[in-house]
Structure 1
Amino acid sequence: MPDTLTEAFEAQRDRLRAVAHRVLGSHADAEDVVQEAWLRLSRQDAETIHNLDGWLTTVVGRISLDVLRSRRSRPEAPYDEIVVAVDESPAPEDDVALADSIGLALLVVLESLGPGERLAFVLHDLFAVPFEEIGRILGKTPGASKMLASRARRKVRTPSQPPAAGREQREVVGAFLRAARDGDFEGLLRVLDPEVRLTVDTPDGVVVVLGATNVAAGARFGAASGGRAVLVGGLPGVVAWREDGSPLSVVAFTVVDGRIAGIAAVADPARLASMDLPEPPGTVGTAG
């Protein structure tokens, strides 16, 4: 029986890891959640489990929910896995692969959701878990769980598969940054999608700005001195630093059909400190 249970769990491991990773945005946390699920299963009387898939999904969901609720003391948690690389080549084949990274744009938005909203959205929209099952995890009715997922869906509204940084995407972002630097309001409007969404993770929470006019009016961050072109999870972006060399912001752009449809920025020092960022321009390489 133990061997059969082990084999059944191993057959589910990849799916469970994917669920936990999408909910939490962290491979390390996802591994911990799956391991804890296995420990709980090993202590469970197998005869009492009538639907192993559902039982494991519920356990992983509940453990993930506990992690989300405890993250107030770990503000940097998911951001350490965002890949930020100096953008030195315009060749698409040299781009940093998106791989299975959640990406900064979606992660920033997910961070703006409450734990219940986040879990309901991820489980239902990404893994087709029924609301009855989600309700059991959250301790809510199926109807209440459906409302949480619907509310989260309205907040997310982000391309599920944004194109990686190619020459056109870089040129559009470059035009945006030049216009921001020059205070060229009309130039900003030309490269922004009318429905563009700017999401900024700040020390006081996530701020969302909607619409080209509003985003263009507040595009001050694009003019920050010492900015450096980077790839953020495979998308064109920019890192800016303060005069003392500490990071000011990391910004990623989603370009669709020749216009910027989404801008995700991190300006929270605690989260920035957890990210592996390149050195400011002109910095002499130092060990560490």
Structure 2
Amino acid sequence: EIKKAVRTELGLTCSIGVGPNKLIAKLAGDLQKPDGLVTMSRAEALVLFEDLPVQELWGVGERTAERLAQVGIFTAAELGRAPLSMLTTMFGVLGHRLQAMGCGHCDDPVAQYDEKRIVKSVGHSHTLPKDTADVAIIQAYLRLLAERVGERLRRYGKAGSTVSLYVRYADFTGAGRQHRVGEPMTSGLHIYRSAVCLLRQYMPLRKKVRLLGISLSDLTPASGGQGFLLERCGREERLMDVVDRINRRYGAATLKPGSVLTAERFGVKERCGLIGTYLFDRKR
């Protein structure tokens, strides 16, 4: 019925894949383009995975495929059989998702085209201008990232309870750590302190660092769950509000912590990468 409606209303052909999840349904839909209709079970998909190049899996890009090839993983089935410890060492928390995909599992829900996606985290990442193992420089970038995350949270009227830190090394391996705090927060300083605690878990650094990322999840309205915190730290909240208004008027980072200057001297790109921007940052 869908194929017939598309052809009648638009004069176009389309391919449709039906499967137990989005991963397999998309794979099935690609098998008989441009005018196919394929139904595939997970068992049928696993047979296909034996010879399917890993980059044919939905969500596995060229760079990820290149890194998997370096450790001898070329097919989807080999990805599913790969040790989870190796994948998490290479890709952090994404390793769990990659192994599940190699086994034909995908829990992502199917959303309607016009459905608003709820953002579950707000964060920033930054690729350093050159790799470094200098802890003072790394901490300066963490302060920079924490300030930018905090500013966006306050602009959205949100607060976060779980801080995540991601570190990517010069050899493109990486790992993530996270920590849940007792009270939802929006302060760049508080976010930074939590990130530094997570950074200690990476010490001593055995490789130079290439990229850093900080994000906050478990988002709640900033006014909810922070009542006593606002009373206790009213001066700090007022200061953040003044800084935000000045920076919005005269340009980002017009006012900033002095420790950020260390990162700026080392080199800062004009725009840090954004994490979790779909709903809040798009034009309404």
Q: What TM-score do you get using the length of structure 1 for normalisation?
A: 0.29
Normalized per residue, which structure has more helix? 1
Structure number, greater radius of gyration: 2
Bigger RCO of structures 1 and 2 (CA < 8 A, at least 6 apart)? 1
Q: TM-score, normalised by structure 2?
A: 0.30
